[in-house]
Amino acid sequence: MTGQPERGHQQEYHGPYVPGEVLVKFKETVTRTEIDRLAAKHKCRVAEYVSTVNLYRMKILNKRDVWEVLEGFGKEPEVEYAEPNFIDQPAGDSIK
């Protein structure tokens, strides 16, 4: 089990997320060249790299569904996990 969201399992993920973006963590051995290749394969581009946690914020380049993109990244052996870019909310707050 890799912790990857699969189509049909969106109900496991609660809370709002940024449309058109996903967060992807690659395995330690994956090079930036490989990351750029995988981003292009899934029609994304690297928007930001957070070095402290080795995490990439990817922008989806077309109007594809976030869950479709996550499913694709989830099948890649180089990916540790991928998830929506959830909007962090202080406890007790809700977006209406």
- Examine the pLDDT at 66 and tell me if it is beyond 70: yes
Q: Which long-range contacts (CB under 8 A, 24 or more apart) does 48-56 make?
A: 53/25, 54/25, 54/26, 54/28, 55/23, 55/24, 55/25, 56/23, 56/24, 56/25, 56/26
- The pLDDT confidence band at residue 88, using thresholds 50, 70 and 90, is confident
Question: Structure tokens of 83?
Answer: 């998830």
pLDDT of 13: 56
Q: Output the average pLDDT for the chain.
A: 85
State the residue range of the domain holding 60: 17-86
36-54 tens-digit pLDDT: 999 999 999 999 999 999 8
The helix (run of H) or strand (run of E) holding residue 73 is helix 66-74
Q: Does residue 57 sit within a domain?
A: yes
4-35 tens-digit pLDDT: 444 444 445 567 999 999 999 999 999 999 99
Q: Does residue 32 sit within a domain?
A: yes
CATH of the domain at 72: 3.30.70.80
Q: Does residue 48 sit within a domain?
A: yes
| Tally of domains in the chain | 1
Q: Does residue 81 sit within a domain?
A: yes
Q: Does residue 50 sit within a domain?
A: yes
Q: Does residue 51 sit within a domain?
A: yes
pLDDT of 77: 97
User: Angle at the Cα of 71 (from 68 to 73), degrees rounded to 5?
Assistant: 110
Q: Which amino acid is at 59?
A: K
- Examine the pLDDT at 73 and tell me if it is beyond 70: yes
